[in-house]
Structure 1
């Protein structure tokens, strides 16, 4: 089957890309990490005006994936998966303001509960309002995690599947950004009188990342068209693997500078590391795929 985006979908993705490209999202992510939420909340309002908080209920999963790929590519902070993917389906309507949710055991903490207008806890009996408790550190400094009181296992429903798919799309976008920045860097960095990107070993590493991302993208779009648990889990696993490969390769080609917080690359690398286990670990999603294949 050949899948192509419609002209409206391409226009939507282009307008969103233009907005985010002009927003200096790296500075916004750094400010959010340091507790200055004002720039991020301003960007949140602009994105909400573009309709991102309405996509889960008013559009298709394809548009959701396009939006979250852009959010990942630009490292936009905030509980977007919670507010724009999970909660609209779980509640049955668009979320007012900013909301977040803990969905144990796969998402045990509520992301950015300190700035949310409402905090929820998903349990066996559905959603209940919750109060944030102890704050926990994340490898991604822009992800502020808070404990909420657990009441039981989370329901495995369409809201959860869309949240997982949105996270997969974020990983895909973040991986694309790391690859693009790495390609730009190896064309500029020179050693022994030549660009390091001219060395075959580096070309092969970057080509492996390109292939991994290109193989992950059809799984995301395929799951968006038919969001079965197996398809969604496959997309999450492939995007997680591809983005993690992009982050490791990005570190290798950048060298020691890639480890520093002052360098923008670190924003995407830490975000990828956090998102790989967000909304279900690799073990959980691989288990779902296996169970679906063997009929367990």
Structure 2
């Protein structure tokens, strides 16, 4: 199995990184949390122009017809910049679910930047940010419908809400949504990987700039060890995420349990991001949890995404069942 990214993947990551850096993603996330969607909508339009929203949409419907590897490369960058909104649902879950259901009419709108949300009980029983999207899809068993979202409920992440969803008229029955649900977990793992990298970067920068006893705190062995542990955890999780994506795209050896690989990737990425959040807060101190500091954006988003598209316990149980 080849885990190495190509120049195309590196260029995709660099393009998204440059776009989001210029857009001032922390300001976008803060505006979203305050109910102002305009800055995020401008970012979504730019991402759509670069083909990010259409990565998993066939070219016949205006998409790129790319695979899961390209998707995780993009979602890792979106996570690293803390972009708000139901990104895993729009970019990965909805196109896969609609394709499985044979419902292709909405795909062109998604590729063009139409943000949607998805609920799929029991793994994802509530829809993320349903109050900010045009359409909410609901998968109940093997029935796919356009749902009606209830009141938006706040989460630990100020830039994320969740809503209960009531089923409307069925769009399709007999739908196998397992691949879409798996991609939701994989996309979320990629976001968590990006969040972890960003928090490690913030902590390392602070450790160089902050001085105690006339020395940068990054020179103290205890701080070095904390940040080294985070770096190792992230580097161990990254090939699991990329390897699972290769498996989704059909590049894994015969007999590979791709669903198990996705669960392993989600668990590893969630654990690494959680460790990054704890250690970054330890290095920065209480300032890191204040609304004024960007670290708070990534801390709270990490906590919200750890349980999205399958809790760590659920994914560990699935791994155990296959052993």
Structure 1 and Structure 2 fold alike (TM over 0.5): yes
Equivalent position of 2:153 in the other structure: 136
Classify the secondary structure of the residue corresponding to 1:51: coil
Equivalent in the alignment of 2:245: 224
Question: Deviations for 1:233-276, whole angstroms, at most 9, x for unmatched residues?
Answer: 00000000000000000000001101211111000000000010
Contact map agreement 1:90 1:159 (CA 8 A) in 2? yes
Match of 2:137 in 1: 120
CA distance in 1 between counterparts of 2:145 and 2:166 reads: 10
Whole-Å Cα distance in 2 between the matches of residues 170 and 254 of structure 1? 22
TM-superposed deviation, 1:126: 2.7
The answer to whether 1:283 aligns with 2:313 is yes
Q: Counterparts of 1:2 and 1:107 in 2: how far apart (Å)?
A: 31
Q: Work out which of the residue numbers 281, 285, 288 in structure 2 matches 1:258.
A: 288
- The TM-score, its normalising length taken from structure 1, stands at 0.95
Q: CA–CA distance in 2 between the matches of 1:200 and 1:166?
A: 35
Q: Which runs of 5+ in 2 are unaligned?
A: 58-64, 169-174, 249-257
- Distance of 1:159 and 1:2 partners within structure 2: 24
Q: SS state of the match for residue 53, structure 2?
A: helix
Aligned to 2:277: 247
- Residue 183 (structure 1) aligns with: 204
SS, match of residue 130 in structure 2: coil
Alignment of 1:52-67 (within 5 A): 52-57=52-57, 58-67=65-74
Instruction: Give CA deviations for 1:209-245 in whole Å, capped at 9, x if unaligned.
Output: 0000000000001000113110000000000000000
Report the equivalent of 2:182. Answer: 161
Report the alpha carbon displacement of residue 189 of structure 1 after superposing the two structures with TM: 0.4
**Equivalent of 1:90, from 89, 97, 121?**
97
Q: What is the CA-CA distance between 1:2 and the residue it aligns to?
A: 5.0
CA contact (8 A) 2:97 2:177 kept: no
RMSD: 1.4
Change (3 A) 1:61 1:257: same
How many pairs are equivalent?
291
The 8 Å contact of residues 196 and 202 in structure 1, kept in 2 or not, is answered as yes
Does residue 32 in structure 1 map to residue 62 in structure 2? no
1:209 paired with 2:226, answer: no
The Cα shift of 1:160 comes to 1.1
Match of 1:69 among 53, 72, 76: 76
Deviations 1:109-151 (A, max 9, x none): 1111112111111111331011111221100010021111269
Return the TM-score normalized by structure 2.
Answer: 0.87
Q: Write the distance in 2 (CA, Å) between the matches of 1:210 and 1:164.
A: 22
8 Å Cα contact 1:122-1:155 kept in structure 2: no
The list of structure 1 runs, each at least 4 consecutive aligned residues, that deviate by more than 6 angstroms after superposition, is none
Paired residues of 1:68 and 1:170 also in contact (CA < 8 A):
yes
Counterpart for residue 173 of structure 1:
194
**Paired residue secondary structure (1:128):** strand
The answer to whether the Cα contact below 8 Å between 1:123 and 1:155 also exists between their aligned partners in 2 is no
Query: Which residue of 58, 78, 86 corresponds with 2:85?
Result: 78
Q: C-alpha separation between the residues in 1 aligned to 2:41 and 2:274?
A: 28
For 1:61 and 1:133, locate their aligned partners in 2 and report how far apart those are by CA, in whole Å: 31
Residue 47 of structure 1 aligns to a residue whose secondary structure is helix
**Which sections of structure 1, spanning at least 5 residues, go unmatched?**
none
Partner of 1:85, secondary structure, is helix
CA distance in 1, matches of 2:167, 2:264: 28
